[in-house]
Structure 1
Amino acid sequence: MAFRSFQHFLQELERSNELQRIHEPVDTDLVIAEWANREMKSPGGGKALLFEKPIMDGKASAFPVAINTMGSRKRIAMALGVNDVADLTQEIQLILKAKPPTDLREGFALLKQGIHLLHARPKRAKEGACQEVVRILESNQTSNDASPARNKHRTSLLDLPILKCWPKDGGRFITFPNVHTRDPESGARNVGMYRMQVFDERTTAMHWQVHKVGARHGKVYYQRGERMPVAVTLGGDPALTFAATAPLPDGLDEILFAGFLRKKSVELVKCKTIAVEVPADADFVLEGFVQPGEMRPEGPFGDHTGFYTAVEDYPVFHLTAITHRRDAIYPTTIVGPPPMEDFYMGDATVRIFLPVFKMNFPEMVDMTLPPEGVFHNLVFVSIRKQYPYQAFKVMHGLWGMGQMMFSKYIVVVDEDCDVHNTSEVLFRLCANTDPERDSTIIRNPSDSLDHAPSKQNIGSHMGIDATRKLPGENYHRLWPELLKMDERVQTIVDSLRKN
C-alpha cells in the first residue's frame, strides 16, 4: 500500500487504534522526548504519538509533531504496507528463486533487477505537495511561482518543532532526516539518515560518519573543490524513511527500494535552489549545500548506544530554501537505552533481508539483533550444523558483509534454538561453550559511535560457538542430549489443561 502522505499514514494508524493524539501544549525541550521514551518502553512499543500543539521557546509551533510512528511490529508492517514484515521476506525470496544466484554479488544484482521489474523505478513530476509553500533563504526572497498565500510564510529552521532529546545534548537535533546526495562523477544517488544538530536558523551539522555513503560522496566534492548540493526530506510515505535507514548494498537505490516496498513508483520533483530531486509527497524539504573543508563541533548527543556521544567536528549544512506542504506534520524520533522505536525498524530490516543472508550462508536458519545490543553490539545466529568449525565460518563471513563488520559479539547456536528468545540463547551459550575452545577474537572496523574501543573506528570483535560439538572440534566426550518431554505426554497435558 502506498500512502499519499505522512498524514494519510497517521490516519490509518488512528483507524487501527495505534495513535494517540495529545491536544494540550507540550514543550519540545525534553518534555516530548520523555513522554515518547516512556511510550516506546511500554509493552509492544506503545502507541504512536501526535502532539498537536508543540511548544518552541515558549511559543506554539505551526506544525504538529509525530513520534514513535514505526515503534511496534504492527506499525512497522503498516508503514511498509503489509500485514506482516514476513510478507516482504517472501517477495524477496521469490525474486532470488527466479534464477538462483551463484554468489552474493550476483544475488544483489538479481535483487536489483527484480525490484526494477516490479514497477519500482521513480517517476518525474513537474510539481509536488512538498512545494506548496516555498521559502528561499539564499536570496532572502520567496520563489517567483509562489502565490501571495504562500508568501506570508517566513519559515526558518527555528520555526520547526525540532526536539531537544536529552538534558546534556548540545542542542536541538533533526533525528528523522532523509539526506539526499549524488556522486558527482557516477551520478549514483544515495538517501541516508544522518542526524543534524541545529546551529541557527540557517545552518546545521551533517553527522555522516566516515563509513557512510554520504561521507563518500562528500569526499569526491571536497577533492574537486566544489560545493556539495544536499537535500533533506522529512515525512511523506514512511517507506521512504525506512529505506533511508536500510543498509542497502551499493547499486541498490533507496528510492528504488522504497518503490518496491510501497508497490508504486516514487514521484520526484526538482528542488528550487539545487540540482537534486526529492520525493514529491514529503512534508518538508530542506535545500542547501555542504562547503568542502568546513567543519564545526557537533554534539554531545544522547545516542542509540544509551550514552552521550562526544563532541567531534562534522561538516556544516547551509540552508538555501525550505519548502513544505500546507498541512505539514513534523516527523521525529528519539534514541537511547533500548528498547526504542529504532529497534523495530532494525528488526524489520534483518527480517526483510534474511533471504539474502541465507543465500550466502545456506546453513543459516534465523538471525536477530537483540535490542540490548543496540544493533551492532550483538548478533544471534542459528545454523544447521554439518561439519566442524562451521559456526566460525559463519561468523567470519558475517564480519565481511557490509555493516555487519561492526558486529561486536556474534553468538552462533543450533537450529533448534529460538534466536528471538534471549533467555534460550543465553542458556545455550552458558551450557555449550568452553571459553577458550569456543571463542575467537578478531580486529575489525567498529562503529564510530561505539565508545568502548581504545581508538575510534577500530576495535576487537568476539565470536562464540554455542552449538553442539562434533568430532574434530577438540571435544573428546559424548555430547549429552537436551532434555525434552515426550510429545505424547505433552498432548495429554494439553488436553487436561483445557478441561
Structure 2
Amino acid sequence: MYKHLQQFIEVLEEHGELLRVKEFVDPRLEITEIADRFIKQNGPALLFENTGTDFPLLINALGSEKRMCLALGVAHLDDIAKEIETLFHSLSEPKRTLADKVRMLPQLGKIASWMPKTIGGKGACQQVIMQDPDLTRLPVMTCWPSDGGPFITLPVIHTMDPENGIRNVGMYRMQVFGKDLTGMHWHKHKVSAAHFRKYQAMGKKMPVAVILGGDPVYTYAATAPLPPNVDEYMLAGFIRKKKVELVKCITLTEERFGFDIHVPADADIVIEGYVDPADDLIWEGPFGDHTGYYSLADWYPKFHVTCITHRKDAVYPSTIVGIPPQEDAWIGKATERIFLAPIKMTMLPEMVDMDMPIEGVFHNLTLASVKKEFPGHGQKIMNAMWGAGQMMFNKILVVHSEETDIHDYATVARTISEQVDPWQDIILSQGPADVLDHSCSKFAFGGKMFLDATIKLEEEVNETAKYHTPSEVKIDVSSIQNAYTEVHGLYTGLLNRGISAVLVSVKKDKPGHVKQLHASLRQEAGLDRIRFFIYVDHLVPADDVATVIWHFANNIDPKRDVMLSEHNAQGVSQAGIDGTRKTRALDQFQRPWPNIIVMNDEIIDRVDERWQMLGLGNFISSPSLRYRGQLLPGGAVVEEAAY
C-alpha cells in the first residue's frame, strides 16, 4: 500500500494531518514534551526535521482514528473486521456443487496474493550500509526524566524458531547502551522470549533483525495479538491487499546462523544483530510505560548490532507512551475492532461487541456485550475470554447484554450500577498478569475481577437485593469528611448521573486503613444505599473521574483489593475497591512501587519559551501540570516512606 514511510507522510500532509517542525528539537525529553501536548489535544502527526542527526523523526503518526485508518487503508476501523467475517463465511459455507467450488478459486487466489514473498537482490532498505554500525547516529529518544536512557520505541523485531524456522514479528522496546548494544525487552509470555529459551537450550546465538518504518501496516502487524506460528506479514498482506516483499539481511545469513533472516524490502531502517544466551543479562530500564507509570528496571538479554542499513531518504519513526491517552491508544483501538470478528467466528459467536477504554490501558479493563441466551451466560464469556491468548492478561472484565451500548461509558456505568449486585454478580479469580502490572503481590501473577452486568434472567435474580435510585440518595459530605479526617475527597457527583458509586481519596496512615475505613463508611447514612466505593490516594482529585479510573485500574489486584459485603439492612450488597498505592509498612506489599510519569519543570519551561519560535501554532500547556501534584518522591521508584 505504502512504498515507504515518506509516502505515508505525504498522504498525512495531503489530509492536513501533519505538522513539520524545522527548527532543532532535542530527542532527549524535548520531543516527548511537545508530542505529549499535541497527542492529548488530538493534534496532528509531527515530523521533526532537525534532530541533530541525519534522520528526521516522525511521531504521533497513528495517533487518531483518521490516521490509523489512513495507515491501514480503510475508511473505518470496523471495515477490516467485516472483510474477515465475509472471507470466513465464504470459505466455511458448504460447497455443494462443482460450480460452488469453481467460484472459490478467485478467492483462494486472492488469499495467495497476500502471502509474504522473498525476492532476490538488495532492497531499498539496504541502499546505505553503515560500515561501522552506530546506533547513536539515529535520533533515539529519551522519553521521560527517570528513564534509564534512550529507547527505540517502535522496533519491529524479527526472530526465528530454531526448531522449525517459523518467523515471529513482535514489538519490544530496546534501550540503547552504546553504538552497537541494546537491551531486548521481551516478556516471558512473548513468542520471541520462547524462541530465546530454545536458543539458550541449544547453546546457540540467536539472530535478530529489527526494522523501523516502511509501510505503517508493519508497525501495526507487529503489535497484533496473533496466535503463535501465524505470520504477521500474512496479516499485513491481507490489510494492504498486497504481499510483503522480503529481502535477505546482510549479516544474518544461513552460513552464520543456520538460516537466513528476511525483512521487508521497503523498510526505512534495518538493524541486524544477535542475542547470545551465554551473555550475562543487562540491567534494563526504568521506562515510562503505557500504563502511565514507570516500568521498573530488570535483567534482560543483550542485543549486539552487526549491521545497520537504511534507505537514502529514511525517516526514523518513534512514539511515546505514558499517562493516557497516547498514540498507542489508537493502535489498541484498531486491535479491538479488527479482532472482534475472529473472536466471534472461532470462539464466541454470541459476542456482539467489545471495548477497551483508554483509561484501562488495554489489559486492565475490557467491556463486552453478548446476546444472552441462558443463565450464567456472562460467566461463560468470562471463562472463554480469560483463556484466550493475550486476554489472559485482562484484569477487569465487564459483560453486558446486547442492549447496552458499551462505547457510551456513562451508559456502561449506569448499567453496572443497576445490574451488578456485588455480592452475587462479581467473581474474583486469579491467574497470569501482565509483566508490567505493578499491583500484583507476585510478579506477573495476580487477581482478576468479573462483573456480570447482563440483564438478569429469572434464575439469576436475587429476591433480597434492592436497588436505590442513586439521584434520590442523600449524603452529607461535609459531615462525613469532618468525622473521617483521612478522607480528603468524597465525590458523589455520579449519583446525579444515575450511578450508584462514590469516589473517595484517602490518606492512609495505618495498616489495613482502607479496609477499616470502608467497613465504617459503608454503614453511614446514605452511603449504606450505595453499591460501589472506589478508593484512591489523597493526592488524586476524587472528582476527576477519568484519573480515578486510570489509577484504580492500575493499582488494584482484585483478589486482594476488592472488598465485598453481603446485603445490609437496606438490601444493598456493596463493593469497596482499594485503588491506593501499596506499601510494605501499611499493606505488607513487598515489591517496589513505581511512580507516575510526568515531565520535569526544566523541559516544560524550555518548550514553553520556544513554542512560538518552533512554529507550533496555538500554545498548548503541558499535560504534566495536571498530574505532577500526584508525583511522589523517589524518581521512577517511589520512596517507601513517601506518602
Query: 2:388 aligned with 1:410, yes or no?
Result: no
* Partner residue in 2 for 1:371: 358
* Partner residue in 1 for 2:386: 399
From 470, 475, 481, the equivalent of 2:462 is 475
Shift in CA distance, 442/227, structure 1 to aligned 2, threshold 3 Å: same
Query: 2:187 aligned with 1:209, yes or no?
Result: yes
Query: 2:272 aligned with 1:280, yes or no?
Result: no
Give the CA RMSD over aligned residues: 1.9
Shift in CA distance, 234/220, structure 1 to aligned 2, threshold 3 Å: same
**Kept in 1: contact 2:168–2:229 (CA 8 A):** no
Query: Which residues of 2 match residues 415-434 of structure 1 at below 5 A?
Result: 415-434=402-421
CA deviation string 1:120-179 (max 9, x = no partner): 332423111100100244xxxxxxxxxxxxxxxxx5101100001110000000000000
CA deviation string 1:3-60 (max 9, x = no partner): 0110000100000001111111111110101111111111xx3210000111xxxxx2
SS class of match (1:168): coil
**1:350 Cα deviation after fit:** 1.4
* Partner residue in 2 for 1:63: 55
State the AA in 1 paired with 2:3. R
**1:474 Cα deviation after fit:** 4.3
Query: 2:444 aligned with 1:457, yes or no?
Result: yes
SS class of match (2:168): strand
Superposed structure 1 runs of 4+ greater than 2 Å apart: 99-102, 112-123, 474-480
**1:461 Cα deviation after fit:** 0.5
* Partner residue in 1 for 2:324: 338
From 182, 187, 192, the equivalent of 2:165 is 187
For 1:239 and 1:114, the matched residues in 2 are separated by 22
* Partner residue in 2 for 1:312: 298
For 1:92 and 1:427, the matched residues in 2 are separated by 33
For 2:88 and 2:463, the matched residues in 1 are separated by 41
SS class of match (2:164): coil
Query: 2:274 aligned with 1:289, yes or no?
Result: yes
**1:115 Cα deviation after fit:** 7.6
For 2:110 and 2:275, the matched residues in 1 are separated by 32
Query: 2:207 aligned with 1:229, yes or no?
Result: yes
Query: 2:153 aligned with 1:133, yes or no?
Result: no
Give the alignment's TM-score, normalised by structure 2: 0.68
For 2:92 and 2:394, the matched residues in 1 are separated by 28
From 114, 133, 142, the equivalent of 1:119 is 114
* Partner residue in 2 for 1:34: 33
* Partner residue in 2 for 1:53: 50
CA deviation string 1:229-262 (max 9, x = no partner): 0000000000111100101112320111111111
Shift in CA distance, 291/101, structure 1 to aligned 2, threshold 3 Å: farther
Query: 2:74 aligned with 1:87, yes or no?
Result: no
From 303, 313, 325, the equivalent of 2:311 is 325
SS class of match (2:459): coil
**1:87 Cα deviation after fit:** 1.7
**1:202 Cα deviation after fit:** 0.7
**Percentage of identical aligned residues:** 49
**Kept in 2: contact 1:122–1:259 (CA 8 A):** no
Give the alignment's TM-score, normalised by structure 1: 0.87
**1:114 Cα deviation after fit:** 9.1
**Kept in 2: contact 1:123–1:265 (CA 8 A):** no
Shift in CA distance, 392/118, structure 1 to aligned 2, threshold 3 Å: farther
SS class of match (1:273): coil
After TM superposition, the structure 1 stretch with the greater mean CA deviation from structure 2, 25-34 or 79-88, is 79-88
State the AA in 1 paired with 2:11. E
Q: Which runs of 5+ in 2 are unaligned?
A: 95-106, 254-260, 470-643
State the AA in 2 paired with 1:66. L
**1:476 Cα deviation after fit:** 3.1
State the AA in 1 paired with 2:355. T
SS class of match (1:52): strand
**Kept in 2: contact 1:125–1:267 (CA 8 A):** no
SS class of match (1:66): strand
**1:95 Cα deviation after fit:** 1.5
Query: 2:235 aligned with 1:257, yes or no?
Result: yes
- Higher relative contact order structure (alpha carbons within 8 Å, sequence separation ≥ 6): 1
For 1:335 and 1:229, the matched residues in 2 are separated by 28
SS class of match (2:308): strand
**1:364 Cα deviation after fit:** 1.1
After TM superposition, the structure 1 stretch with the greater mean CA deviation from structure 2, 248-257 or 197-206, is 248-257
CA deviation string 1:49-77 (max 9, x = no partner): 000111xxxxx211000000011101011
CA deviation string 1:184-235 (max 9, x = no partner): 1111100100000000111000000000011011111110000000000000
Aligned residues: 447
Query: 2:167 aligned with 1:172, yes or no?
Result: no
Shift in CA distance, 95/33, structure 1 to aligned 2, threshold 3 Å: same
For 1:246 and 1:239, the matched residues in 2 are separated by 10
Q: Which has the larger radius of gyration?
A: 2
Query: 2:244 aligned with 1:247, yes or no?
Result: no
SS class of match (1:268): strand
* Partner residue in 2 for 1:13: 12
**Kept in 2: contact 1:128–1:281 (CA 8 A):** yes
* Partner residue in 1 for 2:68: 76
Query: 2:455 aligned with 1:448, yes or no?
Result: no
**1:118 Cα deviation after fit:** 4.4
